[in-house]
Structure 1
């Protein structure tokens, strides 16, 4: 198999993707009983930047799974797709939680808890503006930093988990009850929790501040921490101003994602 990635993927990213997809392809052949040993030329044209907490590797892996299914005339169930994506994710990230492999096949927000995903109801309108800081997240460093903080301060882990759980529960209810202002506040509160733990960066904090100044309901870092992207919740009519100020604050690119329905305001 040969792999070509469009855009400006770094050599480590391209190597990691190649290793992951080779493993995925081998697993697909074994699972689906594909005997043909064709040489495969794979071209990945992905607009989702790697290392930003947006599930880029899982999205690419899922696309390849269904491309292989079309090529070899196989039917792939959601369960099969998850297992195959997890195969690739385990090569890319080591011990993959399954969050990304599940989320890239979902059509609604998910609450992921103790290995189980629950689809969440939406009764809110608005847009998420995703702003790329241009810096890859450092999940391994962030996890180690958090672990060290928990060890240094008695009860810190319990307090962190309790507050994170409270904010998540409040946010899911706001999402279901048409309370976008409340949902936004919980996003910002969650960012403050992560910032206090040392998981944010000056650039990420500047993007969050810019989104709030521009009138967003709320904003937070996304991904593993210490880099990556910011997500900001805003009204559709405010999206252009939020996007403008995010770019002025250093965002290298932005995307608009509707909470539900189609985006009416192109950015």
Structure 2
């Protein structure tokens, strides 16, 4: 059968549109979003056997879903407390969900959405420790935190200026030193400490001092000036609380800590950033 010139042209157009549509579908499937999280905080952000778990991981996944990304389109990247701002400034990640306390010093470099969680600075001590019952007891004690943490700054500036402070790269390193009695206490947010205390291999070895030494409002960090993304993330966080997902994430990530470490979480905070 002879094909007319008009029919041939129509066929080419249809074929082009089909190929173009397939390309768009493939592009959508390949679209990725990079999110910064912690890799070494049980209950918050943990990478173990190639899998990710923790409250921040659940929050990040929920927010990404509201932005149009499926779980398989998420690329989790490890961030350390000292490099969260740099990761955002150099576009290494789209946003950071990594026990990231909102403060003015950080807001000079990045913007935040949220807050989505409230923690308090506390101490993790050996279960046999009875001498540390208040912040002042840390003076002349050996204390550990991580480089870039607001907890280390708070101790040195306000709580126990005579404490011997050791700042390491990660909390896991501090925990090893605490267990070996090289250090007397590990300080950071109670949510992070509770996660470590609730690990099966740590139950009975450590305890929380249960001192509310500060209020830490966790926010989602994003590149400064991206008000559109800030609004979208705030909307996602509000929906997460309203539909019950926030309570679900808290229970599945901190439930064990409530028993093992007598940990108690605060209610979901009001969103204030960008409002």
Q: Which has the higher strand share?
A: 2
Q: Highest CA radius of gyration, 1 or 2?
A: 2
> After TM superposition, is the score higher than 0.5?
no
TM-score normalised according to structure 1 size? 0.25
